[in-house]
Structure 1
């Protein structure tokens, strides 16, 4: 016996591979298991009738081992909804519904009838939009209702099970089914009735699936659930709500008689994820996901609501594999892997675009700026950097993009909101509901629990910020300068030094850190050091890493301890953290270890802590 399953929902920002995952699933399911697929973002104002007809049509396509699934209850409901009734005269309305249902026996091809009802929705399904007849079925409805009746179909439909179902709906009701169908028709035409109609049709759809899996010569071979794949489910929450209600209303029955349906959805971590997170249901890492985890999380055996699985970034090892697949044409795969992972932070879409550009333009030895400024393979006009930004900011207004460029200087969303309230630097409003602060952009959470911008998007936007001049509304110096002053007012020591370093004030940062060396516990001081040295760099330096360290620390006399080694350490760590620098950072490892050793005696009781940190680089 099957068991109740949740709606498996994969979450992640744009470009994280959600649609590619559904593509792979669809390819594996084809001709193995009945499945249907919809892109909720493209449905528009589609009614529940249209959407469920589209799902039923796709699931009714012949499949080895499953035959052709039929949907008599759903079609019965669709026929009743299609009638124009005079509900003021109830007896007449009942007779009108009876006349509509009589047409059921004249439908020679139920799947095509469903396709006719769902023609607009099916046109948005990539796998079906080019199938001859799907889009134009609506023009040939009369041809689908014919006098020649298939005897087998007539025999199966004469039982009246489909009509009777609306009287009990698997909930123990004892109503007249024709009265229920008249009410359903009336509600479908009222402004507030769409949701209730959708719930009943979902229940009919699921009842048809259960019945279809039980009956027929191939019933014993149907060991796998059929599947529905929903892309961008955030745009179809009303559709999902109807499914959830249908499951919930069956209650205990769903445990003993589960629906043979698995729903796999994708979400951009916006509406659906926020709703579930508010209820305490946060996404689980994909490596920890599974039915046991779902049950242990207290999601309930009887509920088939969303089970959120987070699509995490690619690991350095995974990027190594992708780089190796480019072949022997690259002279230093390890360096290229480090550069790509360091910049893209493992984001699948950004990683793929970088590697495609490297392969297309044979950029070796690799300069990250050269890759980002290269043309997107197959385009010739769009630059890789702009193509990557467009992946994240689909249909985002230009003024919002410009304000995001400005806010990219902020370390987290709270800092960005403070920046936004300083109106001279932004074009739009500083309201938290502004598109600038959309959850799909600020979707990461740092170690302190603060929401941050997607790392690779922030780096791309910081690159644009660095390209602005002093004549622009908000250039690098003005934005980081404002943030530095605000952090100083808020007594945010890490923020103040972070933005000071972004402005190139190495000496100021070094002396502040030196003053704190014997005042702050060593482990906390190292955390502060890492936060400060994660500051972005405006670029413009052509020096190799070791030469850059020497150039930016000439102001510190070598015998000035611990200032001189600390200055070298700050610049070295700043350089290593910058993805735009040459990836040959191993040249600095020995320097970093030596500088940590030199400042360790000045760290009060933290000598052993700093020596242990030095060992990591040694």
Structure 2
């Protein structure tokens, strides 16, 4: 995962040189250019990074397209929008003669059963377009049909900008549209020589009467025309290349566009001419699934190798995933939210337990916490507060989920709450095949791809911690009799879950169900089988299991040493149980008030277990010292009483 600064450096290198390594991308007789994909959950900062990149580009020709605003549009509409936006940037630098010829002819009403009459009509119309006013009357409805929803005045201004790019001289105002016609004879393919008018009539037929495959062919040809127009402008008017910044690229129209871009550059019918367009696309992490990319996002090492000049293979996609905020960055964010003085440290630590550094979520909860002033809050209370920046003043929990997931229906959100119980991709797939979900089968794969889009340190696909925690709040709110209650979901996983390890199995889910004694007895046996380091690693994995709202202090007291009670359990079982309870408590972001005490329990009880382990005593001592440091920190944090 990468920070914003490194992503920007990578993007600028690709834009300036055509390659992230800064070396020539020529290969196989043609220039090939990778597409940079910026991946992240909602609120990860990917849109802000595109905006910052646009600011850095300055005068370099670039356009920003938001695919979310074109949700029902076609690829042809997206291509038209790109033309319009480049014309808006500089109407005299760009001549989209090839694209506009094909786009306008495709929109004409031509005789369907008389090829010669259709060709004569096309030629007559192209001659008629010598007059700018006539051409304006034709371009305007085409742009409006493409979904370019502007005021009549703004639309007219854009039409004039396109016309300016087609005139040879500002005084004669002679339109040079017909000069783009000849490209359709060869379409940048060696050895291809056809009648351009016949090819244009064929495009009209594809659009008017063709099915999906014919529409794809139309898009491919017009996309090639657009690339040829951009290549001509970049090659002869100035040295810098044009840039397309595509936001919300996980929407259908953007997926279709990027797929076509891949085929144009790397497919069997790839265009042999150099490609001068740089594309940087930002979207949710599920974008890789939708593009059917088998590779993984680049790591810091991959990026540093590229920036150091290592010759890397030219791939269709370079995918980078945004990392979460560091602790230092969270402090900076808190100061910007005007959280000051003694509340600063406690707010960063408490809120960080919930958000795990997610940029958007951290920013939102810090804003809400700052607005609450000096009131003593609990995290559950904070999530229930109304969001002051939401028009409907919905709870903060709803605002966070909408930011992370977008607008989803009630059924989809309900099913995602079930999937949140899964620790990893395999468990999520198991849940998706169960009757605990109500979405149709065709939608379940989409939900999986949307929610399990973060890659952990082991390379496994998981749900982002803050998203999982918020969805589990929804799951915990269901009554026990619900068909997909907390007990039903974790009970299913306890029986069918893929093993965390051969020894631990489904124990974490039993712990989520509250069967702490069963888990403790198993971990007591493990204490005599493995060394201390292995036992602690398994215990950490276990205690990350989520729990229903629990009074941890009361639960811990039930396992306190009571010689007079006559309990039959071995004393060591009680020690193991207390370690598991306290470990689960310190991993519960909502358990703030007693956190220092829980760390204190871990400090003392871990030392009691050290002598019983099969070696690895140093691991217990080191872990105990770490817990002791946490005791001091949280006693200091909670002393001011701002959080409970």
Counterpart in the other structure of 1:229: 246
Matched, 1:247 2:253: no
Give the 3 Å change call, closer, same or farther, for CA 165–492 of structure 1 in structure 2: same
SS state at 1:371 partner: helix
Instruction: Give the CA deviation at 1:326.
Output: 2.3
350-359 or 112-121, larger mean C-alpha shift: 112-121
Q: Distance in 1 between matches of 2:486 and 2:475?
A: 6
- Please say if residues 229 and 265 of structure 1, whose CA atoms lie closer than 8 Å, have aligned partners that are also in contact: yes
Distance 1:410 1:292, change over 3 A: closer
Which of 82, 85, 90 lines up with 2:110 in the alignment? 85
Query: What do you get for the CA RMSD once the two structures are aligned?
Result: 4.0
2:586–2:595 CA contact under 8 A, matched in 1:
yes
Q: Answer yes or no: is 1:392 the counterpart of 2:390.
A: no
Q: Flag the 1:485–1:550 CA change in 2: closer, same or farther, 3 A.
A: same
1:176-255 map, 5 Å = 176-189=195-208, 190-191=210-211, 192-215=213-236, 219-220=237-238, 222-223=239-240, 225-236=242-253, 237-248=255-266, 253-254=272-273
Q: Deviations over 1:149-198 (max 9, x none)?
A: 87448688559542222222232332222222222222222113111111
The two structures have a TM-score, normalised by structure 1, of: 0.82
1:170 aligns with 2:188: yes
- Greater shift, 523-532 or 2-11, is seen at 2-11
Whether contact under 8 Å (2:63, 2:86) holds in the other structure is: yes
Give the distance between the partners of 1:584 and 1:291, measured in 2 at CA. Answer: 46
Aligned length: 589
Counterpart in the other structure of 2:48? 20
Q: Contact 1:495 / 1:532 at 8 angstroms: preserved in 2? A: no
The answer to whether the Cα contact below 8 Å between 2:119 and 2:197 also exists between their aligned partners in 1 is yes
Distance 1:342 1:152, change over 3 A: same
The aligned counterpart of 2:560 is 554
Tell me whether 1:283 sits opposite 2:297 in the alignment.
Answer: yes
What corresponds to 1:567 in structure 2? 577
Asked if structure 1 preserves the Cα contact closer than 8 Å seen for 2:299 and 2:320, the reply is: yes
**1:408 counterpart residue number:** 420
Contact 2:106 2:207 in 1 (8 A): yes
Q: Please identify, of 476-485 and 340-349, the stretch whose mean Cα deviation from structure 2 is larger.
A: 476-485
**1:517-543 residue CA offsets vs partner (Å, 9 max, x unmatched):** 0113433322210111111121142x7
Deviates more, 1:519-528 or 1:555-564: 555-564
Q: How big is the shift at 1:10?
A: 1.0
Tell whether 2:544 aligns with 1:534: yes
Pick closer, same or farther for the CA change 1:522–1:62 going to 2, 3 Å. Answer: closer
Q: Deviations over 1:498-535 (max 9, x none)?
A: 23322334333323211210113433322210111111
Residues 493, 2 of structure 1: alpha-carbon distance in 2 compared, 3 angstrom cutoff: closer
Q: Of residues 17, 38, 51 in structure 1, which corresponds to 2:65?
A: 38
Give the TM-score normalised by structure 2.
0.79
Shift, 1:354, TM fit: 0.8
SS in 1 for 2:88: coil
Asked if the contact 2:97/2:178 (under 8 Å) is kept, the reply is no
Residue 10 of structure 1 pairs with residue 38 of structure 2: yes
Distance of 1:61 and 1:429 partners within structure 2: 44
The answer (yes or no) to whether the contact 1:115–1:122 under 8 Å persists in 2 is no
Rounded to whole Å, the distance in 2 between the matches of 1:96 and 1:406 is 60
Q: For the Cα contact (< 8 Å) 2:559–2:578, is it kept in 1?
A: yes
Pairwise mapping of residues 215-364 of structure 1 onto structure 2 (< 5 A)? 215=236, 219-220=237-238, 222-223=239-240, 225-236=242-253, 237-248=255-266, 253-254=272-273, 257-259=274-276, 261-270=277-286, 272-278=288-294, 281-285=295-299, 288-289=302-303, 292=306, 299-300=313-314, 305-327=316-338, 329=340, 331-362=342-373, 364=375
In structure 2, runs of 5+ residues without a counterpart are: 1-15, 19-31, 629-644
Whether contact under 8 Å (1:83, 1:100) holds in the other structure is no
Question: How far 1:226 sits from its partner (Å)?
Answer: 3.5
Contiguous gaps of at least 5 residues in structure 1: 124-128
| Distance in 1 between residues matched to 2:452 and 2:374, nearest whole Å | 32
Relative to 1, partners in 2 of residues 1:320 and 1:79: Cα closer, same or farther, differing over 3 Å? same
Distance 1:422 1:226 in 2: 45
Q: How far apart in 1 are the matches of 2:451 and 2:220?
A: 33
Q: Describe the superposition over 1:222-260 as per-residue Cα deviations: whole angstroms up to 9, x where unpaired.
A: 535333434334412222233333334896955xx441x
